[in-house]
């Protein structure tokens, strides 16, 4: 992979479990989306990536017009399962993208190729 292509910075987030108090009630403000930290302590924040967005589309949903933008994100490989990676979301340039699929390159150890969507779900 050529380093000059990685001109964008993205942040990966994972849905955190809410904290419960002594009575079993959820503590307000706990849980939510948090920055991913790998097993070796590496935070996946401001990760160099190449983000390629498409033209987007509009569709009818819930008696309202909805807009959706798809993106392809290429970045260096890091050790995580593709199914786990697909459960995260990605932040780039103020937008929140759902990760639809995570694929590796032909060698399976050089880069991740993510297909992402920014739209009505807002990363939920």
The region that residue 100 occupies, defined by phi over 0 for left and psi between -120 and 50 for alpha, beta otherwise, is: alpha
Name the one residue in this structure whose structure tokens are 């739209």.
119
CA distance 51 to 53: 6
Q: Confirm whether 2 is domain-assigned.
A: no
Greatest CA separation found in the chain?
Answer: 53
Name the one residue in this structure whose structure tokens are 């924040």.
45
Confidence at residue 106, expressed as pLDDT on a 0 to 100 scale? 79
Q: Confirm whether 112 is domain-assigned.
A: yes
CA distance 102 to 49: 14
Q: Confirm whether 46 is domain-assigned.
A: yes
Q: Confirm whether 108 is domain-assigned.
A: yes
Q: Confirm whether 25 is domain-assigned.
A: no
Nearest to 82 by CA among 102, 98, 97: 102
Confidence at residue 3, expressed as pLDDT on a 0 to 100 scale? 78
How many domains is the chain partitioned into structurally? 1
Confidence at residue 32, expressed as pLDDT on a 0 to 100 scale? 85
Cα angle at 21 between 19 and 23, to 5 degrees? 135
Confidence at residue 88, expressed as pLDDT on a 0 to 100 scale? 93
Q: What is the pTM of this model?
A: 0.81
- Per-residue pLDDT tens for 16-42? 888 888 898 888 877 788 999 998 999
- Per-residue pLDDT tens for 30-88? 778 899 999 899 999 999 999 998 877 666 666 777 778 889 999 998 889 999 999 99
In 32-117, where does DSSP find H-type helix?
Answer: 82-85
CA distance 57 to 108: 31
Give the three-class secondary structure for 83.
helix
Identify the domain containing residue 56 by its residue range. 30-118
Confidence at residue 120, expressed as pLDDT on a 0 to 100 scale? 63
Q: Confirm whether 10 is domain-assigned.
A: no
């Amino acid at each position: 992979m050529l380093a000059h292509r990685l001109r964008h910075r993205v942040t990966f987030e994972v849905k955190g479990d809410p904290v419960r108090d002594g009575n079993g009630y959820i503590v307000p403000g706990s849980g939510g989306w948090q920055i991913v930290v790998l097993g070796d302590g590496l935070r996946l924040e401001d990760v160099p990536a190449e983000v390629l967005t498409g033209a987007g589309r509009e569709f009818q949903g819930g008696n309202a017009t909805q807009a959706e933008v798809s993106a392809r994100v290429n970045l260096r490989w890091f050790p995580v399962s593709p199914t786990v990676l697909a459960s995260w979301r990605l932040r780039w340039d103020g937008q929140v993208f759902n990760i639809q699929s995570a694929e590796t390159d032909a060698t399976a150890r050089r880069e991740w190729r993510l297909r992402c969507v920014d739209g009505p779900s807002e990363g939920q």
